[in-house]
Amino acid sequence: MSTVLYYIIPFIVVLGVLIFFHEMGHFLLSKLFKVKVLKFSLGFGPKVIGKTVGETEYVISAFPLGGYVKLLGENDDEEIAPEDIQRAFSSKPVQHRIAIAAAGPAFNFLLAFLLFSGIYLISGYPILAPEVGQVRPDSPADKAGIQKGDIIESIEGTKIERWDQIKQFVEKKPEQGLNLVVIRGETRFSTTVFPKQEIVKNIFGEDVKSALIGIVTSGRTEQINISPFRAIKEGAVKTWEITYLTVLVLVKLIQGVVPLKTVGGPIMIGQLAGEIARENFGYLIPFMAVISVNLAILNLLPVPVLDGGMILFFLIEIVTRKPISIKKREMAQKIGFGLLLLLMALVFYNDLLRIITK
């Protein structure tokens, strides 16, 4: 029972919401452009339950690792009644087809934005307090008299509310003096620190130049109440940050900087969802937002059988002023399907290896 409660249920909740939002994007844009939707399915494989409402069959299928929206005229060999030709996907302008294909990933980005904004509005915006947890001996901060437990109140006259602001100031003025106001217990004093350029490792293990003063955060976090407008702004910023980092990780994977063994799949998502839910079910919301961004970017990859592959075909159609031939499309889809199977095999292998070696 504990396994079902802490692993399977959170996994189904996370994946179900992400898939529903993704397919809802395709569904709503199809309706907007008056394309006939034949089926809306959460999951693949045999139908578990389903109901036809109007002209669309809504289905929950056996395997929950995806979903699909079946549109009239999506397949080349499909027979279309004369009265439905204008409602076929294939008869719509290429711009409409691109919008329908892009709507799934777009809705995943939208979901992440809504989740982050909602968290910040309801629970407050989390910040890492500007409190010093450790000072490296003989560092610029040590020479300036900064000690463990000190709170950086301001830098160059600007009030410091969170830890990342310190880093921003330090990186702006390497080898130049920065005036700091520091709080230590009941006292407040001013000091000058001279950031030093050093070679450090980034999150990918690469050597990079960075200005440092030799302090580490205490790790203390705070939740501050913010206005609805700022919650929306911070939600957008966070969604962009996760998007940028995800794309960067993807680039580093291609470059070989990040090893392929770090790539995870459904099993890892299930494990993480279970562990997060076990600690606090509410923590699943930001986790879901991050996975939603990952799902959006994965689907935008220019691989046939993914949304990005379809968009690529349609962009080629705009340039060449004619659709790609059925033969070429089928060949590309076979290659894309093969690549997708290889990726799935890799992530399942990595997930199983983590379980075995854990």
Residue 33: name the closest of 83, 61, 71 by CA. Answer: 71
Secondary structure class of 51 (helix, strand, coil) = strand
CA–centroid distance for 341 within its chain:
22
Q: Confirm whether 23 is a catalytic residue.
A: yes
- In 3-state terms the chain splits into helix, strand, coil percentages (rounded to 5) of 55, 25, 25
DSSP type of residue 131:
B
The catalytic residue among 23, 74, 131, 234 is 23
List of residues 6+ apart from 213 with CB closer than 8 A: 139, 140, 141, 144, 146, 170, 178, 193, 195, 196
Cα dist. 29→6, 49, 209, 239 in Å? 36, 25, 46, 22
DSSP line for 276-308? HHHH-GGGHHHHHHHHHHHHHHHHHSS-TTSHH
Kindly list the catalytic residues: 23
